[in-house]
């Protein structure tokens, strides 16, 4: 439709140089013949399946099992709408669940050829959005919300319930020890008999073998007033057989080989300080007693047992609030706490640390030095940091409430039901959660190749992972079971791993505070008591309606209506915006490079939308609009066309026959129309193409193959859906 003075600028303008009969009358057959003759020379052969339409139909099968008799809205997007402002809405539909909380529906939508996955959002009546990324499989996507899939479990899941441990001694037993044991306030004599097997250090020597005592006690009792600060280490003790002299051979050397053989009990009101190594000794802190640390190294068969009401503190000397703690270096060593510990650090190397249900811990740092290190918490722990030995180490079993002010570095996190773990930054490889458990972090960093999340709780419940930021190194992300994820930021590798399929086995992803996973806290009056293991719980926000969605828009570009052979595909360019499920499509012209009166029409809506120049507000059909032509050459740039509403069926599709669009072109006397530009069957040379709306059309007389060097490859290969990403920007509008 360009006038003849533009023909010289065309790539093959010689075809039209002297035939003035085409100036005023549009000869459709002549144009089509010349157009087709030159196509193969420019772009090569055409794939028999190629229809030059980058929109294709995908069917979404949607299922929900949530609240009964409730309305839910499904929305389908091109990208992640929670974190990407450029996500485009492609389809939407609403369902109401039955008395069992079940509903299903399906909807077909126009999808981009070659796109492998789409983002499905489930929105409830509070406008909370739950998202899943679903891969396309044989032209369809299947998204289920509230349906938990059962899959093979990993080794981390085969471990069963979290380990539990009874207190080594009952309160009655400890009271008996106090009654029967040796009162250290009675005085201590330090005697070395010169025997290499004597081996009992310091005052415990007298507990085991008091001078001239045939019934030597193996229990020492610390009562108020005793202030010695001594280490405890014992490999054997002497048992007196008679009251004869100290060199009498009636002394019996007895080896200490079992835990609990030698005991030190700190009673109510007593404070006892220990420094150095302890070995083969049970230190029992009774209710009201206090163990004061001056730095302890626990070796074989050493155990610290803190009864309910007992206390362990460090000396807190100098400017550093936390000074002393416990190194824990033997498989047979144990810390069992049912009281309150406020100490500097705990070093775990093979040994076991068990915080009982009544236990409360305030610790500056806990360090796992081997992969075999285990910390099990059934009480409350407040810690500044849990670190590995230069990286992630060990296993953390959390059966109640654990808070870390800084980071946690572990290999395995195993969390029981109705619990909470909160931290600034957690690094873990494998995370197992149970019903109503919460993992909350500002930064969650997972995986060294593979990040694994497992839900092993009750089928009617779920768990929550909530993080301001989630990052993962490159590698697979595995999610198995009923886990809600919420985060405000993901790195690209995490998106590729989690969003591209793994979350299909979980409940999905929301922004922080938007999941409908609810755990209500325990209140004391009007205040949250936090006496529960889930702490403050999780109360979802009631959000207002989200911002308006950007709907998917397709761009239809038409050629050639006059200057045959330039193949610039800018003669008529208009956008079609439609969301599957709606009954209205919106059509907006964006360019008019032709200079004949042309009307945009649609067979589906059975309507003529208007003449292209008039839709830009111009009566002059000689104008070329938004094609880069200068004003003096009868061009106009930067103009916006009028948007036309078009009533369509709710299953309308741009992928079918270009959405029903065609062009009516007036001949020279302004009275007769010819249908000249319309969709072609697959394998034919096109005069109309359909592309995503971010496609930029070539400027006037620029061959589309010049602007888009891979255009010809698209024509030869229907699946080459990325051709329009390779663009010579100086040649496009």
Average pLDDT over residues 340-362: 87
- DSSP type of residue 730: G
Residues 602-630 pLDDT 10s: 999 999 999 999 999 998 888 999 999 98
Query: Is the pLDDT assigned to residue 421 strictly greater than 50?
Result: yes
Residues 511-528 pLDDT 10s: 888 887 888 776 666 666
Q: Hey, how many other C-beta atoms are within 10 angstroms of the C-beta on 356?
A: 24
pTM above 0.85, yes or no: no
CB-based burial, 425-434: b 16+ in 10 Å, e otherwise: bbbbbbbbbb
Contact 68, 101 (CB under 8 A): yes
State residue 229's pLDDT score.
56
State residue 258's pLDDT score.
64
Alpha carbons 93 and 158: distance in angstroms, whole number: 40
> CB within 8 A of 292, min separation 6: which ones?
271, 272, 273, 274, 312, 313, 314, 315
Residues 206-253 pLDDT 10s: 344 333 333 445 788 889 987 665 555 555 555 544 444 444 454 555
pLDDT band for 328, please (50, 70, 90 cuts): low
Residues 557-597 pLDDT 10s: 998 665 556 889 999 999 999 999 999 999 999 999 988 88
* Average of per-residue pLDDT values in the chain: 80
State residue 132's pLDDT score.
84
State residue 40's pLDDT score.
82
Strand order in 55-65's β-sheet?
102-112, 55-65, 140-145
Residues 181-210 pLDDT 10s: 878 777 654 333 333 333 233 334 434 433
Tell the residue number behind the tokens 């959390």, with chain if given: 398
pLDDT band for 33, please (50, 70, 90 cuts): confident
Q: Is 38 helix (H, G, I), strand (E, B) or coil?
A: helix
Q: For every residue of 541-554, which 3-state class applies, written as one string? A: CCCCCCCCCEECEE
Query: Is the pLDDT assigned to residue 3 strictly greater than 50?
Result: no
Query: Is the pLDDT assigned to residue 478 strictly greater than 50?
Result: yes
pLDDT band for 494, please (50, 70, 90 cuts): very low
């Amino acid at each position: 439709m360009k006038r003849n003075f533009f023909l010289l600028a065309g790539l093959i303008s010689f075809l039209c140089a002297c035939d003035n009969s085409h100036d005023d009358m549009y000869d459709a057959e002549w144009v089509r013949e010349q157009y087709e003759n030159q196509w193969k020379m420019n772009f090569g052969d055409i794939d028999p399946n190629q229809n030059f339409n980058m929109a294709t139909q995908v069917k979404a099968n949607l299922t929900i099992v949530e609240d009964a008799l409730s309305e839910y809205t499904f929305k389908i997007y091109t990208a992640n709408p929670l974190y990407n402002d450029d996500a485009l809405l492609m389809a939407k539909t609403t369902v109401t669940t039955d008395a069992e909380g079940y509903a299903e529906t399906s909807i077909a939508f126009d999808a981009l050829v070659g796109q492998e996955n789409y983002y499905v959002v489930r929105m409830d009546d509070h406008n909370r959005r739950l998202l899943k990324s679903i891969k396309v499989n044989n032209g369809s996507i299947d998204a289920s919300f509230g349906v938990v899939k059962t899959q093979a479990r990993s080794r981390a899941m085969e471990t069963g319930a979290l380990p539990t441990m009874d207190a080594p001694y009952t309160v009655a037993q400890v009271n008996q020890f106090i009654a029967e044991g040796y009162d250290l306030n009675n005085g201590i004599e330090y005697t070395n008999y010169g025997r290499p097997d004597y081996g009992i250090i310091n005052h415990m020597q007298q507990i085991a073998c008091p001078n001239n005592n045939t019934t030597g006690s193996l229990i020492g009792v610390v009562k108020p007033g005793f202030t010695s600060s001594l280490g405890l280490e014992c490999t054997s003790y002497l048992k007196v057989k008679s009251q004869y002299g100290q060199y009498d051979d009636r002394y019996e050397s007895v080896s200490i080989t079992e835990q609990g053989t030698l005991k030190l009990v700190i009673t109510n009101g007593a404070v006892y300080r220990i420094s150095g190594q302890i070995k083969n000794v049970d230190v029992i802190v009774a209710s009201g007693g206090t163990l004061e640390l001056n730095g302890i190294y626990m070796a074989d068969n050493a155990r610290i047992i803190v009864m309910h009401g007992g206390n362990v503190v460090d000396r807190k000397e100098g400017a550093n609030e936390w000074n002393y703690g416990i190194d824990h270096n033997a498989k047979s060593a144990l810390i069992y706490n049912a009281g309150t510990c406020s100490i500097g650090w705990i070093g775990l190397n093979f040994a076991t640390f068990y915080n009982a249900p009544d236990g409360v811990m305030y610790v500056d740092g806990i360090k796992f030095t081997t992969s075999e290190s285990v910390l099990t918490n059934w009480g409350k722990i407040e810690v500044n940091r849990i670190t590995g030995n230069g990286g992630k180490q060990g296993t953390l079993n959390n059966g109640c409430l654990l808070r870390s002010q800084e980071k946690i570095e572990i290999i395995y996190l195993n969390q029981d039901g109705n619990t909470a773990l909160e931290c600034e930054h957690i690094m873990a490889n494998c995370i197992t959660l149970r019903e109503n458990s919460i993992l909350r972090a500002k930064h969650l960093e997972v995986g060294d190749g593979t990040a694994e999340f497992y839900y092993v709780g009750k089928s009617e419940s779920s768990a929550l992972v909530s993080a301001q930021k989630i990052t993962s190194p490159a590698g697979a992300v595995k999610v198995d079971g009923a886990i809600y994820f919420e985060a405000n930021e993901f790195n690209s590798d995490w998106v590729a791993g989690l969003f591209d399929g793994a979350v299909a086995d979980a409940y999905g992803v929301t922004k922080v505070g938007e999941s409908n996973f609810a755990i209500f806290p325990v209140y004391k009056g009007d205040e949250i008591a936090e006496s529960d293991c889930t702490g403050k719980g999780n109360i979802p926000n009631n959000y207002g309606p989200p911002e308006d969605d950007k709907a998917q828009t397709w761009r239809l570009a038409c050629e050639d209506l006059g200057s045959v052979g330039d193949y610039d595909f800018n003669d008529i360019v208009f956008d079609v915006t439609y969301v599957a499920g709606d009954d209205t499509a919106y059509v907006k012209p964006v360019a008019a490079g032709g200079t004949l009166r042309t009307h945009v029409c649609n067979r589906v809506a059975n309507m003529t939308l208007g003449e292209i120049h008039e839709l830009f507000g111009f009566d002059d059909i000689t104008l070329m609009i938004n094609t880069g032509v200068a004003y003096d050459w009868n061009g106009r740039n930067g103009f916006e066309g009028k948007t036309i509403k078009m009533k369509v069926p709710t299953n309308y599709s741009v992928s079918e026959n270009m959405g029903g669009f065609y062009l009516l072109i007036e001949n020279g006397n302004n009275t007769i129309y010819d249908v000249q530009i319309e969709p072609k069957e697959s394998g034919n040379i096109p005069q109309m193409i359909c592309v995503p709306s971010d496609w930029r059309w070539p400027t006037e007389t620029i061959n589309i193959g010049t602007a888009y060097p891979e255009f010809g490859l698209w024509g030869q290969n229907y699946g080459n859906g990325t051709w329009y990403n390779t663009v010579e920007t100086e040649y496009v509008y």
